Structure 1
Amino acid sequence: MKFYRLTFLASLFLTGVMLLLIYVFDEAKHYFSNSDWQFFGTMLISSIALLIINYVVVDFLFNFYGKRQIRKISTILPEELTDEDNDLNFKELGQRVSDLNLKNTTEIDTMKEMETYRKEYMGNISHEMKTPLFTIQGYVDTLLEGGVENLAIRDKYLERIDKSVERLLNIVKDLDMINQFESGEIILTKSRFDLNHLIRELIDILDLEAQKKNTRIVLQTSSNQIFVIADKQKISQVLINLISNAIYYSNRESATVTVKTKVQNQKILVEVEDNGMGIKPEMLHRIFERFYRIESSRNRNDGGSGLGLAIVKHILEAHQENISVESTYLEGTRFSFSLQKAI
């Protein structure tokens, strides 16, 4: 058994106290022999005094040796457990260890999620770029092997190469835009403009695309002119993405895409609604993720980057606004968001 000097001194002290109490009891017996209640009262007071003394001494010993042991092991503990206060007890140390363990567990879970996201993200980028790159490679090989001599083949293949290169550029441009949004590098250039006028211009631009899908685009508004404060160029991109998606997924012989604008107090509510194929409920919470596709084959054939809705979400968040979606599978989808009303 290891000898501790402080423990020995405490034992001597307690032994002396107990001997003192025995002496007090003996004297009390002579002085209060004719009065039992005085004798027992003295015993009670003495017992309470002994209890208090024992508690103080034992508590002191536990704290002293506990802190001493903590100081010994502090050299192998993380600094964040001991750097704030060197005068720790075991209870406080245990709480700090528990908090650190919870923090580390959370960080590990976050790192695992980020690693999974990174792998999925890199896989998506690789997949998106692989298709146009292989297409370009195939056409170039054909031209190098003699196809360039045939003017009809040359012109057709060069046109397809141009489309594939354009798709690659769109993917890179969209990725760069999302990264800039996430890093806070893009500054909005807000101005006052007529939202309905902008929507009519975009409908004219997308009309040919809509005709190919036998789709009609209409504007429903509560007022002929509705002015907002926003970044016009980026709101144009939001509307183009939403309307184009509605056209791509029309999936009906005679489809309709309806853009609605309505004044709501100090906000302007914008809705883009279609009567197309809709979105399955289990997919709704993922549609704003990068590269997530509701129907991959259709979107790839149309040449989309798979980043449109992710860009829409980032642009509206930069305007301190949110976008919501409601959809009934095989019946239609409605996207809605708000913009600041111009005074």
Structure 2
Amino acid sequence: MKFQRLTLFASIVLTAVVLMVVYIFDNVKHEFSDTDQQFFLTVGISSVLMLLINYFIIDFLLNFYGKRQIRKISTILPGDIIHDDEQSLNFQELGERVSEMSQKKTTEIDTMKEMETYRKEYIGNVSHEMKTPLFSIQGYVETLMDGGIENLNIRDKYLDRIDKSVERLLNIVKDLDMINQFESGEITLNKSDFDINLLVREIIDLLDLEAEKKSAKVSLHTTTNQLMVTADKQKISQVLINLISNAIHYSNREEAKITVNTAVLKNKVLVEVEDNGMGIKPEALPRIFERFYRVESSRNRKDGGSGLGLAIVKHILEAHHQNIKVESVYLEGTKFSFLLDRAI
């Protein structure tokens, strides 16, 4: 439509210019009366004929050379940009499609930049996490080689620290391997029916010593004594261990309380891990499931965590087609919650 208006406008302008030249030329050679009807009739008919001729000539030239230019452009554009029928494609449509392609490429470039930034941060985080235990091992080994091994107290203490640092390295590698397997779809779930309440009680007993050291009390609140779910028991156990262990480590209160709540929601079972700890700042909430992200720098690497716990929790629940939700009020507490399929 735009090119038709352009063709018509160009035809009118060209016709007006030609008529003006003819009129001026004839006025020089002959003298016409202003009331000469024959002159105006001739000019009128000539104008219409010239306008039509100019319109068709310009339209033909635009279409002929325009299509040639479109074909030239098509040789450097992706195949999905060019219409299947080249005759039905005009400059306007081509421009719109090139604009769409440009926006798509801009989005892809922005995504690639984000991925590159993430890659750099990821590599930096991995190297930083591994650097701490490696340097510790190196320092202890050098001390032992320099004569410390002769002192039994130093030897035993440093060997114990080396063992813990090696264990920390192995945990980081195992967690990274697990996340990579989840993302590549290599891990399969071994689902079975089990009592989620019984599993929670077992994990509370397992983490009892850890809770004692932090003066934290962990308890289970449930609507029924037995609550059967269908899931991968070993991996849900890992989810609960990570969430409860995190709650214990963040319990910086004299009377720290961690409560695991379970309840039935139609054909689902709701599981909540709630604490009255320090909470999480609002700006940190969107990032807590990122690899190696730590809510606060005060909780440093001396705790021995890999920094991958919540990332693993997220992947395990996504493999179960469920989401992990978090609610937190800074300085008051945090609650993580997720759903599992109820066993029929």
Amino acid at match of 1:315: I
Q: Within 5 A, what are the aligned runs for 1:1-343?
A: 58-82=58-82, 84-87=84-87, 88-343=89-344
Amino acid at match of 1:231: D
Give unmatched runs, 5+ long, in structure 2.
Answer: 1-10, 16-40
Superposed CA offset, 1:183-214 (max 9, x none)? 11111111000000000000000001000000
| 1:268 partner SS | strand
Contact 1:299 1:306 in 2 (8 A): no
| 1:216 partner SS | strand
| 1:64 partner SS | helix
Paired residue for 1:23?
none
Cα distance in structure 2, aligned partners of 1:242 and 1:78: 49
Q: Post-superposition shift, 1:73?
A: 4.0
Cα distance in structure 2, aligned partners of 1:202 and 1:64: 78
Q: Post-superposition shift, 1:225?
A: 0.2
Amino acid at match of 1:149: E
Q: Post-superposition shift, 1:301?
A: 1.6
Cα distance in structure 2, aligned partners of 1:331 and 1:338: 24
Give unmatched runs, 5+ long, in structure 1.
Answer: 1-10, 16-39
| 1:95 partner SS | helix
Cα distance in structure 2, aligned partners of 1:228 and 1:47: 88
Amino acid at match of 1:148: I
Q: Post-superposition shift, 1:74?
A: 3.7
Cα distance in structure 2, aligned partners of 1:294 and 1:243: 16
Superposed CA offset, 1:250-283 (max 9, x none)? 0011111000000010110000000011111111
Superposed CA offset, 1:218-241 (max 9, x none)? 000000000000000000000000
Amino acid at match of 1:72: K
Q: Post-superposition shift, 1:246?
A: 0.2
Paired residue for 1:33?
none
Identity over aligned pairs, percent? 75
Cα distance in structure 2, aligned partners of 1:51 and 1:190: 80
Q: Provide closer, same or farther for how the CA distance between residues 77 and 197 of structure 1 changes in structure 2, counting only shifts above 3 A.
A: closer
TM-score under structure 1 length normalisation? 0.83
Cα distance in structure 2, aligned partners of 1:83 and 1:151: 82
Contact 1:217 1:257 in 2 (8 A): yes
Cα distance in structure 2, aligned partners of 1:312 and 1:162: 27
Cα distance in structure 2, aligned partners of 1:48 and 1:319: 76
Q: Provide closer, same or farther for how the CA distance between residues 72 and 287 of structure 1 changes in structure 2, counting only shifts above 3 A.
A: closer
| 2:292 partner SS | coil
Cα distance in structure 1, aligned partners of 2:158 and 2:68: 81
Q: Post-superposition shift, 1:86?
A: 4.0
Cα distance in structure 1, aligned partners of 2:325 and 2:141: 44
Amino acid at match of 1:210: A
Superposed CA offset, 1:306-339 (max 9, x none)? 0000000000011000011111111110000000
Contact 1:262 1:269 in 2 (8 A): yes
Cα distance in structure 1, aligned partners of 2:311 and 2:76: 46
| 2:295 partner SS | coil
Superposed CA offset, 1:78-136 (max 9, x none)? 55544855443211221121111111101110111011101111110010000000000
Amino acid at match of 2:178: M
CA RMSD of aligned residues (A): 2.6
Number of matched residues?
Answer: 306
Amino acid at match of 2:62: F
| 2:263 partner SS | strand
Cα distance in structure 2, aligned partners of 1:115 and 1:138: 34
Q: Provide closer, same or farther for how the CA distance between residues 342 and 51 of structure 1 changes in structure 2, counting only shifts above 3 A.
A: farther
Amino acid at match of 2:220: L
Cα distance in structure 2, aligned partners of 1:275 and 1:162: 34
Amino acid at match of 2:222: T
Cα distance in structure 2, aligned partners of 1:239 and 1:64: 71
Q: Provide closer, same or farther for how the CA distance between residues 65 and 218 of structure 1 changes in structure 2, counting only shifts above 3 A.
A: same
